[in-house]
Amino acid sequence: MIDQMGRRIDYLRISVTDRCNLRCIYCMPGEGVSELAHAKILSFEEIVRLVRIMTLLGIRHLRLTGGEPMARRGCLELAKQLHEVPGVASVSMTSNGILLKDQVHQAKCSGISALNLSIDSLDPERYFRLTRGGELSRALCTLHQALEEGMTVKVNAVPVRGMNEEDLTQLARLARTDPVCVRFIELMPIGLGSRAERIPNQEVKRHLDEAFGNPREDTQAHGHGPARYVKYPGFCGAVGFISALSHEFCETCNRVRLTADGRLKLCLNHTKGLNLREMLRSGDSDEEILEAVRKAIAQKPERHAFYETISDHEERSMNAIGG
C-alpha cells in the first residue's frame, strides 16, 4: 500500500488492550484511567479478520502493544493466529515484561520473534517510582529469558528530565555484553507526556560518547522501525535513537495503528482515521472494509506536527492509542 506521500505502508501496530499493570509517570496517572468496556474492544476474531484483509493491501509486519498486551488473557493465542495468517512476515511484541516472565518460551512458540521491553531505569527503586509499582527483577528476568530463547530483543527507554538522567549510561551498557539493542525514545507530547520535559537524543548521545568513545554507524537492519543505530567500541549489541521531535522521520513512516477499540489510526498525533469496529459490526463485507482501509491509508497525514496547531490533535493517553 502506497500513501499520498509515496510511502510504503507495511507495518501495523495492534493495541490488544488499553489496560496496563503499571502506571508509568509519563503515560498514565497514578489512579489509572477509565478503561474501555469489554464490548467496545475488538475480539480476537475481529482482529484476525482485519489483519487478513490488510495483508491484501501489503501489511507484512505486526506488533502487539497495549496498554500492556499481556494484560489481556489469551494474548499469546492471538499471536499464534496472526502468525499463521498468509502474508504476515513477522509478529513482534512491545511489553513491560512483568507479566511475560516465565511465558517467553510460549511466546516464541506462538510466533513472536522479536520482543521490545520498556525499561527506563536499572535502579530498582527508581524503576519502582517511574512505573509506580513495577518490579525490575521481573522485567530483567524476561529480558534474559528472551535472550536464552534466541529472540531479537530491544530495550526501550524514554529519557525524562529530572527522572532518569543518571540511568541512561547504565542502560546503554546492557548492549556491551549482550546482543540487545538499547533504544532511547524521545518523550512525545501526548497525554501525560506533555507535562514532562524530554531530554533530546543528541544530549543523550553526547553523554554516551563521553562514556564509551566515538561510535560507528550501525547499518544493520534491526527490525522495521525508524531508529538510527550506532555501535560503540567493544559493544556486542547496538544503541539506537528514535528522535521523533529533534530529527523528524515522518517522510519514511511505514506504519499505521489499530487501537483496542477498533480505530485505524493513521498517525500518532492525529485523530484522523477509520472506525473499523463499526464497519465490522454493521455487517460490512471484506471487500468494503478493504476499500475503506485503502482510501484511509492513502490519506495518511504528511507529518505528526507535534508542536503545531492542527484540527485533529490527539488528546488521549498513550495506553489508549497503542504508543
For residue 177, what is the domain's CATH number? 3.20.20.70
pLDDT band at 91; cut points 50, 70, 90 = very high
Q: Is residue 116 part of a domain?
A: yes
Could you tell me which residues come within 8 angstroms of residue 280 by beta carbon, excluding any fewer than 6 positions away?
Answer: 42, 46, 49, 50, 262, 289
pLDDT of res. 247? 77
Q: Rounded to the nearest 5 degrees, what angle is found at the Cα of 263, between the Cα atoms of 260 and 265?
A: 105
Query: Which pLDDT belongs to residue 30?
Result: 79
Per-residue pLDDT, 141: 98
Q: What per-residue confidence (pLDDT) applies to 249?
A: 80
Question: Does residue 5 have a pLDDT over 80?
Answer: yes
Q: Is residue 241 part of a domain?
A: yes
Domain extent for 108:
11-321
User: Any idea what DSSP says for residue 143?
Assistant: H
- pLDDT (0 to 100) of residue 244: 81
Average pLDDT (272-299) is 96
Distance CA 127, CA 303 (A): 33
Confidence of residue 28 (pLDDT cuts 50, 70, 90): confident
pLDDT of residue 289 exceeding 90: yes
> What is the per-residue pLDDT for 35?
83
Q: 543518571: which residue's cell?
A: 166
Instruction: Calculate mean pLDDT across residues 175-198.
Output: 88
What digits encode the pLDDT tens for the residues 291-320? Answer: 999 999 999 998 786 666 666 656 666 666
For the segment 34-67, what is each residue's pLDDT rounded down to a tens digit? 788 989 999 999 999 999 999 999 999 999 999 9
Q: Are 192 and 25 in contact (CB under 8 A)?
A: yes
Mean pLDDT of 79-102: 98
Residue 94 lies in a domain: yes
Provide CB contacts within 8 A for 115, sequence distance 6+: 92, 93, 94, 95, 100, 104, 107, 142, 146, 151, 152, 153, 154
Percentage of the chain exceeding pLDDT 90: 78
Structural domain count of the chain:
1
Report the pLDDT value the prediction gives residue 281, as an integer from 0 to 100: 98
CB-based contact 316:27 (threshold 8 Å): no
* pLDDT attached to residue 34: 76
Taking a C-beta distance cutoff of 8 angstroms, is the pair 3, 62 a contact?
Answer: no
In a domain, 5, yes or no: no
Say if 6 falls within a structural domain: no
For 227-274, write each residue's pLDDT tens digit: 999 999 999 999 999 998 787 888 889 999 999 999 999 988 777 899
Q: Which residues of 45-84 are buried (b: 16+ CB within 10 A; e: fewer)?
A: ebbbbbbbbbbebebbbbbbbbbbbbbbeebbebbbbbbe
pLDDT band at 10 (very low <50, low <70, confident <90, very high): very high
Whole-angstrom distance, CA of residue 91 vs CA of residue 83: 6
Structural domain contains residue 2 = no
What value does the mean pLDDT take over residues 195-199?
A: 87
Q: Tell me the mean pLDDT in the region 145-174.
A: 97
> What average pLDDT does the structure give for the chain?
93
Identify whether 160 is part of a domain.
yes
Tell the burial category of 165 from Cβ atoms under 10 Å away from its Cβ (0-12, 13-18, 19+).
Answer: middle
As beta bridge partners, residue 181 has 154, 238
- Across the chain, the runs of DSSP E, i.e. the strands, are 11-15, 61-65, 90-95, 112-118, 152-157, 181-185, 216-218, 228-231, 238-242, 255-258, 263-265, 273-275
Evaluate whether residue 4 is within a structural domain.
Answer: no
Task: Specify the higher pLDDT residue, 250 or 178.
Answer: 178
pLDDT of residue 321: 73
| Residue 323 pLDDT greater than 70, yes or no | no
Beta-strand pair 216-218/112-118: unpaired
3-state SS of 32-84 is CCCCCCHHHCCCHHHHHHHHHHHHCCCCCEEEEECCCHHHCCCHHHHHHHHHC
